[in-house]
Amino acid sequence: MAKKFHLPTRMCISCRDRHEQNTLVRLQCIDGSLESFQGSKRSFYLCKDCLSQEKRVIKTLMRQCRGGDRDKFMNKLKEIITDDR
């Protein structure tokens, strides 16, 4: 019989669904700027489904980072996503 290992789950801040941690993108806001997770301080997760819905994810990111420029957030998010692949 194979052992069942625990897979950590996290919640997407946009849709509030729970997913396995390794399927989510981990981000953080530093001084109102969107960054990929640096290893310390507060962070949040977004699922792949929400990332494909541009309007929804921008609204969520602006709320999470407390304002900012829409275009700047979208450009930075696209940059982070392409770096992760």
Residue 84 lies in a domain: no
pLDDT band (50, 70, 90) for residue 2: low
Q: Which residue range forms the structural domain that includes residue 34?
A: 12-79
Kindly report the average pLDDT of the chain as a whole number.
Answer: 86
Residue 45 lies in a domain: yes
Helix axes 70-84, 54-64, angle to 10 degrees: 110
pLDDT of 25: 93
Q: Is residue 66 part of a domain?
A: yes
| Count of structural domains, the chain | 1
Q: Is residue 2 part of a domain?
A: no
Over pLDDT 90: what percentage of the chain?
35
Q: Assess contact for 65 and 29: CB atoms under 8 A.
A: yes
Decide if 3 is inside a domain.
no
pLDDT of 46 reads: 93
48 belongs to a structural domain: yes
Q: Residue 20: inside a domain, yes or no?
A: yes
Name the residue with higher pLDDT: 18 or 32: 18
> Under a CB-based contact definition with an 8 Å cutoff, are residues 9 and 20 in contact?
yes
